[in-house]
Structure 1
């Protein structure tokens, strides 16, 4: 099975999503039982979203306007949804968050300044995150 669901995306609902859900929740439960959840940031993210409407092959294309991300542990408040899309799941209407914002959030949570610059292959200083700002409101 593949997460690349350009056609026949029913396999996601039947096979991949339940398997992911079981594994992710088992990891969170295990970390919590061992007392490690508060010091561990668990991130599950896709590199893009999928088109809100299915195509003629009952699949979905790439949709970079919205993307999925699930965060747990390290002080993340459980049971919240951050941001909101329009009624068609096409565009963000509340708290739009860029991949750069998410990266800055992860770095900051790990104790790394998202404004830090590191040398590239030629020794020039380059921002680790270009233009992102850490997300407020998910920690508590």
Structure 2
């Protein structure tokens, strides 16, 4: 079995765990807290997993696992703000090469950010950092999108 197939199977299993964890719960904060804990304990080589939520023209820190983080990020700034502005997943192999990167933790070397939507409305982003360069790839992007999709189904 190839590494990509193993990762795909891993994310399929993780998505099922996320579905079971969330169940019919509609409370956004509770779901974000549990998902950040699930992802932090399940993913290898990550040093921060959390959510930023939209508050007017900014992203504000939500539930997370890891070291204390930046509290507010302007939409359009940094990796999180870029993902929010463009509503597209951002996979950054080396954060030091990303113009305008906001360094909340100097140990972070790579990052993936996935927008969270309710219909066409931006709710926030899932942000995951790694202390390893090139930690994330398109398979991670697709797998994590499945988990965000589970979350999006609970947002009214």
* TM-score computed with the length of structure 2 as normaliser: 0.33
Higher relative contact order (CA 8 A, sep 6+): 2
Higher alpha-carbon Rg: 1
Query: Greater helix percent: which structure?
Result: 2
Query: Greater strand percent: which structure?
Result: 2
* TM-score computed with the length of structure 1 as normaliser: 0.36
